[in-house]
A and B are shown apart, each in its own frame.
Chain A
Amino acid sequence: MAATTIATEAKTTHSTSRRRRSVEGKPFFAVAFTALFFVLLYVPIVVVILFSFNSKKSLSVFGGFSNRWYVQFFNDEGLQSSLRASLMIASIAMVGALLLGTMLALALERVSSRPARAVGTVSLVPLVTPEIVTGVAALLFFTGLGLKLSLVTVIIAEITFSISYVAVIVRGRLSSMSGEVEEAARDLGCTSWQALRFVTLPTIMPALIAAGLLVFALVFDDFVLAFFTTGVDPQPLSVRIYSEIRLTISPAINAVGTCMLAVSVLLVALSLVIPRLFGRKDSSLDLISGG
């Protein structure tokens, strides 16, 4: 009884900050379980990072700190060209997916014709298609057209896959923006194109940056699509790592993996933080938690 009263008070005082107080007592099981979960979640990542600094060529015995595997990574011309290839793929795919995905989001928010709705539905399909299916399809499409597999084919496949992510994030932001804002721009002397250029795009810029960072991280890390669509040389970093893991065990992979983890953690963290810096509550988190 008393607990209920306290809970109600807590709710009223915190209702603006949308925080909830414990209302069912502390379920120690759930809290302890969650702690364990987070430990297990991070153990493999910590191990990769730790052993990337191992002075020994062992994946189980730690012999002291050393940067030898990083030196080896930066001196390995093959890995370096793969790294450059992955950075290039991610950059171009990011720009392409942002461009096409934003166009798609803008159009779908405003055109409600039957073909537009059909395109809207189709554009969501890649999000629920296993990557292996998309990968096989892309591979057959390129070989069927007689295209030589190369970084170009990887980029095309990655753009196709990423458009949906951008469209979902940007649409989320657009739908929270009043249509009157664009009318206001036209009222103040803009053509519809200028309204887009001077008002709509600047307004949704934080969402665009977040979507771009997320796409970069996803594409940079992506293995399955790259695996199916890449040519022989140079291969994206993830494909390269895959073939190395299967052949030998080399601690240099830990160094590469640490670098990849660092890049994606940084980008994803930024994509979560940037919309908040611009004073908005929504972020790319909505992509997964909101759906």
Chain B
Amino acid sequence: MTDTARQENPVADAAAIDDQPAIRLINLTKKFGEVTVVDHLNLDIRRGEFFSLLGPSGCGKTTTLRMIAGFSDATEGTIVLGGEDVTSVQPHKRNVNTVFQSYALFEHLDVEGNVGFGLRRKGLDKSEIKRRVNEMLELVDLAGRASAKPRELSGGQKQRVALARALVNRPEVLLLDEPLAALDLKLRHRMQVELKEIQREVGITFVFVTHDQDEALTMSDRIAIMNNGLIEQSGTPEDVYERPRTKFAAGFIGTSNLMTGMHSEAVLTLESGLSIPLPGHPELTQGAAVSIAIRPEKIWMAEFDPGMVRIPGTVSATVYHGATTQYLVDVAPGVRLTVLEQNLARSRHDDRWTDGDTVELGWKPEHVVVIG
């Protein structure tokens, strides 16, 4: 998979300006000594999209961002920004701006001074700077705090100043390095919505680095899942959630029931001996090892449709979550599936199933995702 990605040469016809991506990374590699942190990365980020780099810590997402910003040199490869090779251009000459994880506000300047910093460096005249700064403070809802010093602001307000300070320069691309990580849960959810709204309003390309899958799913137009310096999969949130292409992608985003076994004649035989019907996959070779993934909410426990795959099991644990109930169901020795049931009004029971109940699980064949 990664091999094919490496062999691709995504350098497109430079004449097609409209199709030109905002950012194109070609074989981008970063090594720290012997350790390869980013490994021949190829990626196009389209103009105006909200793009997330999602992955666990140490996967290379922040390093990639820092190379795009120019804070870190690429060991190999090319960074093309708006059609121009910027690989060896210094950070202050790149038309990108960054929102840092620590906010990195300038303590000695007030909010207005922070937001206007980039414009002053560009040498814009004072009235123009004033106008754009006010406009931006309005946008991030900080109009009343123009003369506050950073230390007088709350975490959420600092976050907005950092955002305004970057956006006011109207960069081609805005880079955001886990900007919401330091906020508490409630504020984080609010900022997610606001950030998305602001992005729609200004129409600037956002490259958003995060390790939080929910954040990536709810905010992004497209997501790239990174692991060990490689992109495991990229696509729309629906793509990567519904059709994970690797075990890592299936496991990292949401919960997945992963099963690996031998495939023959539309049946997957697990190590434990359990046979799972696997219809509708003529592309699979006979006798090959195959992994499948099924999302917990795609498994039914009652009111089955015809055509569903059905297997028996025993409930081993139930966890009540309010809107949903999670069941852990043993279907074979050592094979435990997670099932998520909505607690709908019409199906209200005190406890539909309890531990030890024998149940039947069913799913539609099209909800089974076959992984490599």
B is a partner of A: yes
Known contacts A183-B100, A279-B149: does B90 contact A191 (CB below 8 Å)?
yes
* Cβ contacts under 8 Å, B118 to chain A: 188-189
In the complex, the answer to whether A184 meets B92 with C-beta atoms within 8 Å is no
CB of A181 closer than 8 Å to a CB of B: yes
* Cβ contacts under 8 Å, A188 to chain B: 92, 97, 117-118, 121, 165-166, 169
CB of B108 closer than 8 Å to a CB of A: yes
CB of A34 closer than 8 Å to a CB of B: no
* Cβ contacts under 8 Å, A185 to chain B: 106, 117
Interface residues of A in 160-182 (CB under 8 A from B): 178, 180-181
CA distance A21 to B107 in the complex (A): 33
Q: Could you mark each residue 103-123 of chain B with 1 if its beta carbon is under 8 Å from any beta carbon of chain A, else 0?
A: 011111100000001100110
The residue from A178, A189, A202 contacting B108, defined by CB atoms under 8 A apart: A202
CB of A199 closer than 8 Å to a CB of B: yes
CB of A203 closer than 8 Å to a CB of B: yes
In the complex, the answer to whether A205 meets B91 with C-beta atoms within 8 Å is no
In the complex, the answer to whether B104 meets A190 with C-beta atoms within 8 Å is no
CA distance A183 to B104 in the complex (A): 8
Closest chain A residue to B123, Cβ basis:
A189
In the complex, the answer to whether B98 meets A184 with C-beta atoms within 8 Å is yes
CA distance A86 to B4 in the complex (A): 75
CA distance A206 to B105 in the complex (A): 17
Q: Could you mark each residue 225-250 of chain A with 1 if its beta carbon is under 8 Å from any beta carbon of chain B, else 0?
A: 00000000000000000000000000
CA distance A183 to B98 in the complex (A): 9
* Cβ contacts under 8 Å, A183 to chain B: 69, 71, 91, 98, 100, 104
Q: Is the interface of A mostly helix, strand, loop or mixed?
A: helix
CA distance A178 to B90 in the complex (A): 20
CB of A194 closer than 8 Å to a CB of B: yes
Q: Could you mark each residue 201-224 of chain A with 1 if its beta carbon is under 8 Å from any beta carbon of chain B, else 0?
A: 011010000000000000000000
* Cβ contacts under 8 Å, B157 to chain A: none
Q: How far is the CB of A175 from chain B (nearest CB, A)?
A: 14
* Cβ contacts under 8 Å, A189 to chain B: 92, 118, 121-122, 169
CB of A186 closer than 8 Å to a CB of B: yes
Q: How far is the CB of B69 from chain A (nearest CB, A)?
A: 6
* Cβ contacts under 8 Å, B31 to chain A: none
With a 10 A CB-CB cut-off, give which of B102, B117, B166 has the most chain A CB atoms: B117
The residue from B71, B92, B96 contacting A190, defined by CB atoms under 8 A apart: B92
In the complex, the answer to whether B107 meets A203 with C-beta atoms within 8 Å is yes
In the complex, the answer to whether B108 meets A187 with C-beta atoms within 8 Å is no
Q: How far is the CB of A192 from chain B (nearest CB, A)?
A: 9
Q: How far is the CB of A210 from chain B (nearest CB, A)?
A: 15
Known contacts A194-B121, A279-B149, A279-B151: does B97 contact A187 (CB below 8 Å)?
yes
In the complex, the answer to whether A178 meets B107 with C-beta atoms within 8 Å is no
CB of B101 closer than 8 Å to a CB of A: yes
CA distance A181 to B104 in the complex (A): 4
In the complex, the answer to whether B108 meets A205 with C-beta atoms within 8 Å is yes
With a 10 A CB-CB cut-off, give which of B97, B104, B149 has the most chain A CB atoms: B104
* Cβ contacts under 8 Å, B98 to chain A: 183-184, 187
* Cβ contacts under 8 Å, A199 to chain B: 106, 108
Q: How far is the CB of B282 from chain A (nearest CB, A)?
A: 52
CA distance A202 to B114 in the complex (A): 13
In the complex, the answer to whether B92 meets A187 with C-beta atoms within 8 Å is yes
* Cβ contacts under 8 Å, B90 to chain A: 186, 191
Closest chain A residue to B91, Cβ basis:
A186
CA distance A191 to B92 in the complex (A): 6
Q: How far is the CB of A233 from chain B (nearest CB, A)?
A: 45
The residue from B92, B102, B105, B169 contacting A186, defined by CB atoms under 8 A apart: B92
* Cβ contacts under 8 Å, A191 to chain B: 90, 92
In the complex, the answer to whether A184 meets B104 with C-beta atoms within 8 Å is yes
* Cβ contacts under 8 Å, B121 to chain A: 188-190, 194, 198
In the complex, the answer to whether A203 meets B169 with C-beta atoms within 8 Å is no
* Cβ contacts under 8 Å, B117 to chain A: 185, 188, 198
Q: How far is the CB of B279 from chain A (nearest CB, A)?
A: 53
* Cβ contacts under 8 Å, A186 to chain B: 70-71, 90-92
Q: How far is the CB of B320 from chain A (nearest CB, A)?
A: 33
Closest chain B residue to A199, Cβ basis:
B106
CA distance A279 to B108 in the complex (A): 11
CA distance A184 to B109 in the complex (A): 14
11 residue pairs of the A-B complex, CB under 8 angstroms, read: A178-B100, A178-B102, A180-B102, A184-B98, A186-B92, A188-B118, A188-B165, A188-B169, A194-B121, A203-B108, A205-B108
Chain A interfacial positions (CB closer than 8 Å to B): 178, 180-181, 183-191, 194, 198-199, 202-203, 205, 279
- The 6 A-B residue pairs with the shortest CB-CB distance, nearest first, are A189-B121, A188-B118, A180-B104, A184-B104, A202-B108, A180-B100
